[in-house]
Structure 1
């Protein structure tokens, strides 16, 4: 959905500058043969059309045209990049002894620890490899998080004192050999000495990421097989898309957004929950409810082995992220619980699968806001802001339908002030 809406937006802007015929030649499509996007690209006359391999699922397609065409545009030496990947392919051949097969060994480690309860795979990377951690987050969550099982990747969580972690962690340290980081190494050493399981990996240089793409894709498929899940489908992602489609279709028909009634309001923040969960929170909040009391009631449900996910349908501004990171660290340190921070709607196509279909031990805070600036979608009645809001509502519906513990907090136009209020209330609730 997002791809088509963004195409409409940028085509509309570009054609105003150079005309429709010249504008469409600036577009490149990468898609599977026979897709709607292929038909659109051919009908409109896109500048280039590249095909993927239909049998490769999206998150496994980094080494196909879906990953390599953008890499070529970036100026990467694809021959060097793919030569490294080919080395890993050969290292994972069926004829390679089990104990020497890097993909098989890694996948087995992930699955065995997950089966033992250490399913919060905490990714610690060199700064230059941050984006690899984000890619791994999607690969692991969307591939294994289903039928009540799976791995919950923890990405972007600051390294803490070993005593701040529960017994459900498997730490993954991925270091770039050309960028020494004694502080990182010392932190990982402390975790290891404290008895936490740690997997250490070293990437020789950035071109070796091609090897890691294949190693991790292979390992993830192995882990899924051992855990007894299909690593190549994403049933709960599709459920979220369907819920959003129903809401946007209804808006197209009626021109109205279904009304919502908050369960509590304070200082520019409005709280929403399902009727049943709202009753539970009210009962726990006491006779003098407050924002702090509702948050305390929500967070007090956490128990060992659970995790918290902040699902922020906000702009990815550095100042917003800093406030949210402070919240997740405070929750982790107070509760010794794994924490996730996700920006919507991006995470719907990655960790969203595990949150809906994976282990039933997540506690969720969904954050939405009023958009100070919005953009219309050419040819549609709705705006980008409305689509984002409908995606948040669709996600809320599917998560709660599956019995997930979810509290939604809506911020008014001053998002920065709202986040500061929320952070203060969380700190008080955890005191």
Structure 2
């Protein structure tokens, strides 16, 4: 029997005591599971009306189990045992967590960085590619599909036998793929991308890779009744209140894994929370950290709630009183399938408490439009750098704040000087190969320790479908460090006039442009020589002194 635990202390417990009875009195949980589109107000109603089928997925997705198992057996008999997933945001994050937790291999290609794309196009004789796009028009995914299609053909392999398409019925990708003879599996069209973990988007690649998707659905179905109950003990309502009901609002949600056994869950939750809540000048910023020693956990700021993902426990009360009277913590436990549904309910409840529509993402679309416009104009029209330091070009957007900084360390200092010491956050945005350049992420806690403020780290363009919405639509309290690079070797996109290198450059430039239009300070550090420039940036960040020692 699946169980869920949500145990809070401090400000989070106060929020639960204050807000859960309001949600219960409004019948929020029951109405949510009845797919009542009026829960978030009239402005959200038209969108909500076509986005609530996720509440029934633990049952409605059952027919996929047999279909996926049959396809997996067929592919295995043909010697195909390597699964590559081409998808972005909601199409890739859930399968990554499901497969990592089940310890089955899945190659996730959620980037347009040419070096990363090239590295994924290998071992074609034993590879099946799942192309996932809800809209069927996601440019990253379409570009990846084109690259694999050409590679299979060049290798003498029929692409229609090795590419499986997951998309909404009637999408451009659905219609063209069926016409061209590809296998297509449709997802429920009345589920938004970030709520799609238990649809075909989450289940097809995971099941083909060998994950136990039936157990996943079983665990989710086992908690459906408790999550739909209008009861003070409802863990979804409790988590939603802890997240969005603190007074004053603690709008930074630090998530740390404390032995939950679920691998990478915070990365999935990050998108769900940030993209759902970060709009209209409010929202909850998820901050994914590595350990309890990271500064956001060890010394949480006054605007932070810390969520510990813990192993299952029968204990439903805090073990001790809070060490600090002003702290805010939540312990969350439960198996993966149950937690996927739990957090979706919690974020829907948080949207109600914040007074926003948790199902749209207006600022994600604005960055996409800016990127497309830059592609149309040609990427060559980039502004001259304010300065060049070794293998790094320095540019500043979003105000006249760079001053006379001419070096990478001085430019970073100038950016961090714009940070509000009480409400601000730092976002490091790396448009690099997230596998080959993974070490850069280790600078995140160094920056947090130096500033004393929550710091996020996102790989571009992956984070554009996640925290990118909060950056532009949430509170104007962030400062943004963007790292881009000259790829080691560019890669053509078959049938397109632009390359993968052009595309990721336009995504980075478009993101920075929209941030600047929202008066957010952005420091762009462009590596003209990848290895040398990356070393410069890493050294500059690692040299930052802790806040108590900073002068």
Interval containing the TM-score (normalised by the shorter chain): 0.7 to 0.9
Residue in 1 that maps onto 2:440: 323
Residue in 1 that maps onto 2:250: 118
1:68–1:425 Cα change, 3 Å: closer
Q: Deviations over 1:280-330 (max 9, x none)?
A: 3216x5xxx543332212111222121101000011135x3323422x222
Residue in 1 that maps onto 2:176: 40
In structure 1, which of residues 71, 82, 94 is the aligned counterpart of residue 217 of structure 2? 82
Retained in 2: the 8 A contact 1:307–1:337? yes
Residue in 2 that maps onto 1:369: 485
The separation in 1 between residues aligned to 2:338 and 2:441, in whole angstroms, is 33
The answer as to 2:208 corresponding to 1:73 is: yes
SS of residue matched to 1:129: coil
The separation in 1 between residues aligned to 2:389 and 2:166, in whole angstroms, is 47
1:33–1:13 Cα change, 3 Å: same
Residue in 2 that maps onto 1:352: 468
C-alpha displacement of 1:394: 0.6
Q: Deviations over 1:110-148 (max 9, x none)?
A: 1113x5231111111137423211100000000000111
Matches within 5 A, 1:402-413: 402-413=518-529
The answer as to 2:537 corresponding to 1:422 is: yes
Retained in 2: the 8 A contact 1:98–1:105? no
Residue in 2 that maps onto 1:181: none
Higher helix share: 1
Residue in 2 that maps onto 1:200: 331
SS of residue matched to 2:480: strand
In structure 1, which of residues 300, 306, 317 is the aligned counterpart of residue 424 of structure 2? 306
The separation in 2 between residues aligned to 1:190 and 1:346, in whole angstroms, is 39
The separation in 1 between residues aligned to 2:240 and 2:193, in whole angstroms, is 19
The separation in 2 between residues aligned to 1:356 and 1:380, in whole angstroms, is 29
1:271–1:89 Cα change, 3 Å: same
The separation in 1 between residues aligned to 2:542 and 2:492, in whole angstroms, is 38
Residue in 2 that maps onto 1:7: 145
TM-score by length of 1: 0.87
C-alpha displacement of 1:191: 11
The separation in 2 between residues aligned to 1:235 and 1:212, in whole angstroms, is 27
Residue in 1 that maps onto 2:396: 273
Residue in 1 that maps onto 2:56: none
Residue in 2 that maps onto 1:170: 305
In structure 1, which of residues 211, 215, 238 is the aligned counterpart of residue 338 of structure 2? 211
In structure 2, which of residues 159, 165, 178 is the aligned counterpart of residue 29 of structure 1? 165
The separation in 1 between residues aligned to 2:337 and 2:352, in whole angstroms, is 23
C-alpha displacement of 1:97: 3.8
The answer as to 2:263 corresponding to 1:133 is: no
The separation in 1 between residues aligned to 2:171 and 2:207, in whole angstroms, is 23
1:238–1:189 Cα change, 3 Å: farther
The separation in 2 between residues aligned to 1:230 and 1:395, in whole angstroms, is 23
Runs of 4+ in 1 over 6 A off after TM superposition: 188-191
Residue in 2 that maps onto 1:335: 451
Residue in 2 that maps onto 1:109: 242
In structure 2, which of residues 193, 196, 199 is the aligned counterpart of residue 64 of structure 1? 199
Q: Deviations over 1:331-387 (max 9, x none)?
A: 211221001010001111111111111111111000011111221111122111110
TM-score by length of 2: 0.69
User: Aligned pair count?
Assistant: 399
C-alpha displacement of 1:427: 5.2
C-alpha displacement of 1:84: 1.4
Range with greater deviation from structure 2 (289-298 or 28-37): 289-298
Retained in 2: the 8 A contact 1:247–1:390? yes
The separation in 1 between residues aligned to 2:319 and 2:514, in whole angstroms, is 40
Unaligned runs of 5+ in 2: 1-138
SS of residue matched to 2:482: strand
